[in-house]
Structure 1
Amino acid sequence: MPAILDAPSARAGREGGGSDFTPLARRVRESGLLERRPGYYGRAIGLNLAATAALWAAVAFAGGSWWVVLLAVPLAVVSTRTAFLGHDAGHRQIAGSARANRLLGLALGNLLLGMGHGWWSDKHNRHHANPNHVGKDPDVGEGVLAWTREQAVRQRGPLRWVARHQAALFFPLLTLEGFNLKIGSALFLRERGRRERLVEGGLLVLHAVGYLGLVFALLSPGKAVVLVLLHQALFGVHLGSVFAPNHKGMAMPEPGARWGHLRRQVLTSRNVRGGAVTDWLMGGLNYQIEHHLFPSVPRCNLRRVQPLVREHCARLGLPFAEAGLVESYRLALGHMREVGEPLRG
């Protein structure tokens, strides 16, 4: 299984502008902020598991009333916390060994969420290596949504209509993202080795059987279907809303561009301002610049890394993009609207 990037490659230091990263990397390393935080993650995982169990107990308690479907809201929030923890395991932020982080990723992703750790690792690894680079970053590849005008004008049929109105459709489409993650995880395994299909596929099946079995055992069929649909839809919206403002509307390297690690990560990323609530809701990914520069830094250390990065960028005259939460969505949706403009003429 591909490993998530723990640090910039040695080659990055030799590319144009890449050497600018070395002094910053040294400061962060000497500050101790690269060190693992097992206590923090132990508490986070424990609390998340306890909250998950408590919510399912609440589903059992309230199962006789249709009000039970409102529990889809906190269930979606807790599922997103699980996804954040799986993300951190994929970046080897939690444990000291690759094996332990992989096991955590399988437990948190495949077993608890039905989202394949191997599929996510492969996709996310390519995103981190070349963020916002068309043809290299799968997050800006051609699909239902268009990220460049060239992609938009190539859309055909219903997808052309979607591209024309994609800014307005973005959040409604996120209601399908929870299901898309599960489907993508299953399809990814078709081309993997037998052992990976057995392990990852077996855990995905175990999740599906356990999740659906639990819901239908606790609720009548009608309530069960509504709860599942709401849970997965809200999970997709919450998770997609966290990833949406981080890169959309930021620089997109031209084909053949060779940027050093510092510029490649800083110029394509946007931070989201906020306090402890924003940090919690976004799982630390509001510090997108710091996370991309130092993927293995534990989530709880990113706030302390930020002043070092900001100061370093200011010294080099490098733009440091940051916006409030609402403004970040306005910028991301504005980019999507601009991309679809040729189709509305």
Structure 2
Amino acid sequence: MTTTRVEGLERGGSAPPAGAGSGSDFARLSRRIVAAGLLRRRPGYYAARLSLVGAAFAGGWGAFFVVGDSWWQLAVALFLALVSGQVALVTHDVAHMQVFRGRRASGVGGRLCGNLGVGMSYGWWMHKHTRHHANPNHEELDPDVAPDILLWSREQARAATGLPRFLGRYQAQLFFPLLTLEGFNLRVASIRALRSPTMKHWGAEAALLLAHVVLYLGALFLVLSPGKALAFLLLHQAAFGVYLGATFAPNHKGMPTLTGDARPDFLRRQVLTSRNVRGGPLTDVLLGGLNYQIEHHLFPGMPTPHLRRAQVIVRAYCAEIGVPYHETGLLRSYAEALRHLRWVGEPLRGARE
């Protein structure tokens, strides 16, 4: 397998779109997108989407209380795992100011959905996700490819110690099993982030996270016997973690990575490190529009329902200027990511490179 790093692409500066020159590749693309009306807000769409997700959330917990102390609650847990993933995807759109105009309203909405709804700190996630968007797949600058547990390049594998080195040998096989822990990891990381000096609105973040934990565990152990409550918690959080991880994994995993000063211009930095996933309306709903990852990274404030139309413009423009545009099916996207993880771990297994 060839190296996954982007080499020799230091064209243009690293400025964000607002700083791009009027004649840059991104500026020309942006004018086409604006002319097509694809940056206009869609309040009706988001009113309907938030209403449907909110109704599903309320309905799921309503079913929980109606079913009572029964093993049928495991079916409710699976349904609520799917709904929790949809709440997280709504939080993502709120964070990108696709839903509300102002930062204040977006912050309030994001904390209600993230902290209270799924137990994920909105402030922590915003700080992390902003860094990811600025430098996707940059091994030193993107926290999503930091070698915390999984390793994303052979250089990381060679330098790994401790648990990442141990898991790295078989990380492709362990990827989906490890996703069952992602729901728990989000909560632990959120609580730890409360001590960070970068955390804004600390009081609101902490209060809403505490309210989530009290209401969630209170409901489980008041309605269910201890054994059923524990089974519900484990299944709900495991399925939520797998769904969330399976939603985000196709976006960048296994795509080219960057290191050091290798920073292409904005358009290439976003397109070359991202992968789109083909599919129809069901794929759009299940992945929350993140299957149009290239378009989302180029225009993060673009309303989700416009991404499909934007794809036609962006794909044609990339072909016009000779920039590779990678798109594949959902199962193939997972295969590519897992193949990359296996390749990265080869040095740890003593395989010949």
Shorter-chain TM-score tier: over 0.9
Corresponding residue to 2:333 among 324, 328, 331 = 328
Are residues 1:244 and 2:252 paired? Answer: no
Residue 60 (structure 2) aligns with: 55
CA drift of 1:123 comes to: 0.3
Residue 18 (structure 2) aligns with: 10
Residue 295 (structure 2) aligns with: 290
Task: Spell out, residue by residue over 1:2-25, the C-alpha distance to the aligned partner (whole angstroms, 9 max, x if none).
Answer: xxxxx93434449xxx81111110
Opposite residue 309 of structure 1, the aligned amino acid is V
Unaligned 5+ segments in structure 2 are 1-14
Residue 299 (structure 1) aligns with: 304
Are residues 1:145 and 2:153 paired? Answer: no
Counterparts of 1:113-128 in structure 2, within 5 Å, are: 113-128=118-133
Is contact 1:8–1:293 with CA below 8 Å preserved after alignment?
no
Is contact 1:13–1:260 with CA below 8 Å preserved after alignment?
no
Counterparts of 1:1-345 in structure 2, within 5 Å, are: 8-13=16-21, 19-192=24-197, 196-345=201-350
SS at match of 2:194: helix
Query: CA–CA distance in 2 between the matches of 1:183 and 1:9?
Result: 34
Task: Spell out, residue by residue over 1:89-130, the C-alpha distance to the aligned partner (whole angstroms, 9 max, x if none).
Answer: 000000111111111101100111110000000000000000
SS at match of 2:147: coil
Opposite residue 268 of structure 2, the aligned amino acid is R
CA drift of 1:236 comes to: 0.5
Is contact 1:111–1:206 with CA below 8 Å preserved after alignment?
yes
Is contact 2:252–2:275 with CA below 8 Å preserved after alignment?
yes
Query: CA–CA distance in 2 between the matches of 1:195 and 1:271?
Result: 33
Is contact 2:147–2:164 with CA below 8 Å preserved after alignment?
no
Note closer, same or farther for the CA distance 1:13–1:134 as it changes in structure 2 (3 Å cut). Answer: farther
Query: CA–CA distance in 1 between the matches of 2:222 and 2:42?
Result: 38
Task: Spell out, residue by residue over 1:274-331, the C-alpha distance to the aligned partner (whole angstroms, 9 max, x if none).
Answer: 0011111101000000000000001111001100101110100111100001111010
Query: CA–CA distance in 1 between the matches of 2:17 and 2:100?
Result: 21
SS at match of 2:155: helix
RMSD: 1.6
Note closer, same or farther for the CA distance 1:342–1:13 as it changes in structure 2 (3 Å cut). Answer: farther
SS at match of 2:195: helix
CA drift of 1:160 comes to: 1.9
Is contact 1:189–1:196 with CA below 8 Å preserved after alignment?
no
Query: CA–CA distance in 2 between the matches of 1:8 and 1:195?
Result: 23
TM-score, structure 2 as length reference: 0.92
Note closer, same or farther for the CA distance 1:225–1:13 as it changes in structure 2 (3 Å cut). Answer: farther
- Structure with the bigger percentage of helix: 1
Larger CA deviation: 272-281 vs 209-218: 209-218
Opposite residue 134 of structure 1, the aligned amino acid is E
Of all paired residues, the percent bearing the same amino acid is 55
Opposite residue 301 of structure 1, the aligned amino acid is H
CA drift of 1:195 comes to: 6.5
Query: CA–CA distance in 2 between the matches of 1:8 and 1:94?
Result: 22
